[in-house]
């Protein structure tokens, strides 16, 4: 239903009612901003990228054929802009310290996490997500937070469906490794 | 919940439930709208808004050629309704001649001619492989 609303507003804009674009901005700004922020890791840059992406989407709205959801089309613009930005910036990421990774299974890690309060859990997971490279961090937001389908993630990122699946599997493993590492470091286990 | 029942994906989803999407600054929408309103409106192209024009023009040209071939470059000697048959025959003949000439060139390749169907077969195989693997990925996703 919401996707139909997007299509309706796109048609309104193409019919000359520019004000309808405010609806699309309001509806998608948070997720678009989150994707950019997960990739560039700087609020000012992320906001600038998101703003530019919305303006670019507006300018090329004619080329939106409705073959995918409007959100998928928009997030692809944001994702590409943010990735291009990081390529220019050359970020450095902390590698996972293999020595601190214990031999807990995923189930054991989840059980240990369950013993923490929700605030501590969120802090730990957020820290683990921030530990991932930019593109993987964005993938987590799309798949776990936005519950975007694998096909749509494939359209947004330009990766093949099987590549997205493989990446998500590796990301999950990395997240568990980092969470375990953080738990060992902070002696939560 | 026993350890065996824990689904790793579900567990991460549950843990990430608390982290909501981030929000940009409060005047974000207003700033974009200000920028957007200064831009020319993105309208559909004239032809996209009036696709029936294309249909009418094509039909009109077709009818004109069909009934009044004398007006066209197709010549004077046709009676209405006959030019289609004439051109069908003419082009089929040209195509057949071209094909014959192309085949005769293959014959000139001697024993190497079999490379042609083999190359075509490899190409078709690659195309089918791509098409089917893409369908299979979409089904299993």
**C-alpha torsion sign, points A175, A137, A134, A122:** negative
Contact A38, A78 (CB under 8 A): no
A26 has pLDDT over 90: yes
Report whether pLDDT(A183) > 70.
yes
Of B28, B36, B137, the CB nearest to A47: B28
pLDDT of residue B141: 39
- Give the angle B105-B111-B113 at the CA atoms, nearest 5°: 45
What is Dmax (Cα atoms) for chain B?
90
A30-44, A99-113, A137-151, B98-112: least confident range = A99-113
Average pLDDT, chain B: 73
With an 8 Å Cβ cutoff, are B141 and A161 in contact? Answer: yes
Count the helices and strands in chain B (H runs, E runs).
6, 0
Q: Tell me the CA distances in angstroms from B138 to A151, A172, B135, one per residue in order.
A: 7, 22, 5
Indicate the length of chain B as a whole number.
Answer: 141
Instruction: Tally the residues of chain A.
Output: 189
Does the pLDDT at position B2 exceed 50? no
Distance CA B116, CA A164 (A): 38
User: Residue A97 above 70 pLDDT?
Assistant: no
Q: A69 with A152: CB under 8 angstroms?
A: yes
Max mean pLDDT among A40-49, B90-99, B116-125 falls in: A40-49
Task: Inform me whether the C-beta atom of residue A31 falls under 8 Å from chain B C-beta atoms.
Answer: yes
B24 touching A, CB under 8 A?
yes
- Of all residues in chain A, the percent with pLDDT exceeding 90 is 37
C-beta atoms of A146 and B21 within 8 A: yes
* Verdict on whether the full-model pTM lies above 0.80: no
Is A68 near chain B, with CB under 8 Å? no
Residues of B in contact with A60 (CB under 8 A): 42
CA distances from A161 to A80, A82, A151 (A): 18, 21, 6
Q: Are the beta carbons of A151 and A68 closer than 8 angstroms?
A: no
Report H helices in chain A.
2-14, 21-40, 43-59, 70-89, 106-114, 118-130, 134-140, 150-157, 161-185
């Amino acid at each position: 239903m919401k996707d139909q609303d997007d299509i309706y507003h796109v048609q309104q804009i193409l019919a000359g009612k520019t004000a309808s674009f405010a609806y699309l901005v309001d509806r998608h700004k948070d997720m678009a901003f989150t994707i950019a922020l997960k990739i560039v890791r700087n609020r000012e840059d992320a906001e600038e990228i998101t703003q530019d992406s919305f303006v670019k989407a507006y300018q090329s709205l004619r080329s939106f054929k409705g073959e995918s959801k409007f959100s998928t089309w928009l997030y692809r613009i944001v994702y590409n802009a943010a990735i291009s930005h990081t390529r220019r910036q050359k970020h450095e990421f902390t590698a996972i310290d293999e020595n601190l990774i214990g031999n807990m299974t995923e189930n054991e890690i989840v059980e240990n996490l369950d013993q923490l309060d929700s605030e501590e859990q969120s802090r730990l997971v957020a820290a683990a997500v921030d530990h991932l490279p930019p593109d993987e961090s964005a993938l987590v937001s799309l798949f776990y937070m936005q519950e975007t389908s694998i096909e749509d993630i494939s359209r947004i990122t330009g990766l093949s469906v099987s590549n997205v699946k493989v990446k998500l599997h590796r990301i999950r493993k990395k997240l568990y490794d980092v969470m375990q590492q953080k738990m060992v470091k902070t002696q939560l286990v | 919940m026993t350890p065996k029942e824990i689904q790793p994906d579900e567990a991460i989803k549950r843990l990430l439930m608390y982290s909501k999407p981030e929000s940009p600054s409060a005047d974000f929408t207003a700033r974009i709208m200000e920028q957007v309103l200064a831009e020319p409106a993105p309208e559909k192209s004239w032809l996209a808004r009036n696709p029936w024009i294309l249909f009418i023009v094509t039909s009109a040209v077709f009818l004109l050629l069909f009934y009044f071939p004398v007006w066209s470059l197709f010549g004077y000697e046709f009676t209405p309704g006959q030019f289609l048959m004439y051109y069908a025959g003419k082009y089929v003949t040209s195509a057949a001649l071209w094909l014959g000439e192309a085949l005769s060139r293959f014959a000139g390749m001697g024993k190497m001619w079999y490379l042609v169907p083999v190359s075509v077969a490899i190409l078709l195989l690659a195309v089918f492989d791509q098409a089917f693997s893409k369908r299979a990925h979409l089904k299993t996703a």
